[in-house]
Amino acid sequence: MNQRGGWALIKNTWQSWIQHRGFFFLLAFGWMLPLLVYLFIWSAAAGDGTIAGLTQESLAGYYLILILTNQLTYATTNWTVGDNIRYGQISRWLLQPMSPIYHALSQEIAGKVVFMLFSIPITGLLALIIRPQLNLTWGQALIFLPSIALAWALRFFWGYWLALLAFWVTRADSLLALQDSLIFLLGGHLAPIALLPPGLQTLARLLPFRYMSAFPVEVLTGQLGVQETLIGLSIQLGWTVLAIVLYRWVWTRGIRRYEAVGG
Amino acid sequence: MSFPYKTLRRQDATQPEPIIQVSHLTKVYRVPERAPGLGASIRSLFKPQHSDVPAVTDISFTVEPGEIVGLIGPNGAGKTTTLKMLSGLLYPSSGEAQVAGYTPWKRQPDYLRRISMVMGNRSALNWDIPPLDSFRVLSQIYRVPPDQYRQTLDELIATLDMEALLKKPVRNLSLGERMKCELVAGLLYQPDIMFLDEPTLGLDVAMQRRLRTFLKAYNEQHTVTVILTSHYMADVTALCPRVMLIHHGQLIYDGALHALAARLAPFKLVRLQFSTPVENFDDFVAQWPAVEQLPVENGSRTLRVPRADVPLVTARLLESLPVADLSVEDPPIEAVIDQIYAEGTL
């Protein structure tokens, strides 16, 4: 571990990213749009009644929190890992007495700060207009914290081990696109999990994708009972541990194959 | 693991242990291969073809602490691959290496803190921010104590004369300016061993000379061990008393630079100027069948004389002809190297 170097790197990356804040604000806006579209579609569908027990106001609350959660857990850096391997950029990180994952982590943390500078004011403004219904309790908020931390870790490490397949195949990024599509479908973006057909609901509860985005939102908006919450947390933890194990495994093997191209 | 050199050196107690020991190092790349065209690219989807390309074959050598060794050879000879293995970037296909007691490709942090790899065509700096910020991060990553960091940085900035560059983003620097920053980035933590891959690539002659002077002085003051690759023979002649010549992945020469010239070019150049014109010079030269006359340049004549005949030939020239000026030179090293690159053998 090299905390001192890691911290310096975070500050440094942040300084360099804040120079391109316009780009990141646009990116954040782009991620927000589809979720806003589904917010309006489901709100319209619910009308004055409820769908699967969710009212118009609670659907609005769900999607507004999902917008923030999605941006907090989205691992943008994974998209650059493959290129860094393919074009030999990770060479300079491999030469440093610090694991290259620090570079990805520092970009993650720096990125979150930049995205939140944009997303928190915008969702706040939307909340004033749409007036969502949120029944927040301290208990839900308390469980939300570990579940969103795990959601981030799971989404980051799952994408990272997929991206590291670039050591073997040149375009591993397509797997990241697949991961995004599955999160869209089974991670509560297209519709809250409760609105999915029963077969897909079961699938969503078993596969890792719900635990990368929708699960913390369901916890915070009070959609889940105690038992569902505990089972969900255990499955989330299990997938996260597996993702980290897979990352370690793929990394130690991939690095032996690395050809440090260029130069 | 066996290091024949190590056992030899043990008998001599005054001799320091080699800091770099390489034995039978080999790297074979597996390269995907396909013929050009759409048909071939579709076929390669189903049945990818690979070929094994040996980049480095069975290389063994040792380097003593404080030495500067030039690694030379034509493009694609395996120089960079060798440096990449020694700096831990590449796993070798077979063979062993010990650098400062570590196996490079295990990439232990303690090892990486002792080495530096500076690549002329690859940047160690973040291009969006000024170099000073990058230096600070590097000093943290390498855990340089703040006092030592300031002192080293001041020293490097003064010797490289780069005060003015420190606050501009790296992308706005010229190639030469960036190279200075790369060197500082590689030296901030005072490594014991430096691998320099084409450090003067693309620099103008004046900048090349300044970097060379700097590297030489730095090596003398800090006794760092340096392995350097370069395509500019001027770098090698100025810095490296010892050269290793790699060709087709094999080490074909390891020794003093001047001995390489002597071994390859078994002749010297004798340059002559006469005080009065000499009419029968061609006939005079004809008495030595082994001596060859080169084209006349600016009124001075040049003879290619076998090394062994040089004393006799010069003596005869001086006593028989109106010689105003006579000099004996080694052929230019570029010409010698050119010959090996073309022929591929010694």
Q: Where, residue-wise, is CATH 3.40.50.300 in chain B? A: 64-261
Instruction: Looking at the complex, report in whole angstroms how far the Cα of residue B288 sits from the nearest Cα belonging to chain A.
Output: 49
Closest residue, chain A, to B76 (C-alpha): A263
- Whether A67 maps to a domain, the answer reads yes
CATH of domain B64-261: 3.40.50.300
- Whether A262 maps to a domain, the answer reads no
Q: Give me the residues of B, 98-157, that contact A with CB < 8 A.
A: 107, 109-113, 115, 117, 119, 121-124, 126, 128-129, 133-134, 136-138, 140-143
Closest residue, chain B, to A14 (C-alpha): B129
Q: What is the rounded CA–CA span in Å between residue A45 and residue A66? A: 19
- Whether A127 maps to a domain, the answer reads yes
Reference B267, options B325, B313, B331, B314; nearest CA is: B331
Residue of B122, B126, B128 with shortest CB distance to A263 = B122
CATH 3.90.550 fits B266-329, yes or no: no
Q: Where, residue-wise, is CATH 3.30.70 in chain B? A: 266-329
Mean pLDDT, range A171-185, rounded to an integer: 89
* Bridge partners for B122 per DSSP: none
Which residues of A fall within a CB distance of 8 Å from B195?
Answer: none
Which range of residues forms the domain containing residue A24?
A: 3-257
User: How many domains does chain A contain in total?
Assistant: 1
Q: What is the rounded CA–CA span in Å between residue A172 and residue A82? A: 7
| pLDDT tens track, chain B, 346 positions | 444 443 344 444 455 789 999 999 999 988 777 777 777 777 777 777 788 889 999 999 999 999 999 999 888 889 999 999 999 999 999 999 999 999 999 999 999 999 999 987 777 787 888 899 889 999 999 999 999 999 999 988 988 888 888 888 888 888 888 888 999 999 999 999 999 998 888 788 888 888 899 899 999 888 899 999 988 888 888 999 999 999 889 998 999 988 887 777 778 889 998 888 888 888 888 888 888 888 887 778 889 898 889 999 999 999 988 999 998 888 777 777 777 777 766 6
Which residues of B fall within a CB distance of 8 Å from A2?
Answer: 109, 141, 143
Reference B118, options B224, B204, B22; nearest CA is: B224
- Whether A263 maps to a domain, the answer reads no
Which residues of A fall within a CB distance of 8 Å from B109?
Answer: 2, 97-98
Reference A235, options A203, A200, A207; nearest CA is: A207
Mean pLDDT, range A80-101, rounded to an integer: 88
Which residues of B fall within a CB distance of 8 Å from A257?
Answer: 91
- Whether A199 maps to a domain, the answer reads yes
- Whether A243 maps to a domain, the answer reads yes
Who contacts B179 (Cβ-Cβ below 8 Å, separation ≥6)? B120, B199, B200, B203, B207, B211
Residue of A8, A95, A257 with shortest CB distance to B87 = A95
With CB atoms and an 8 Å threshold, state whether A95 touches B124: yes
With CB atoms and an 8 Å threshold, state whether B122 touches A91: yes
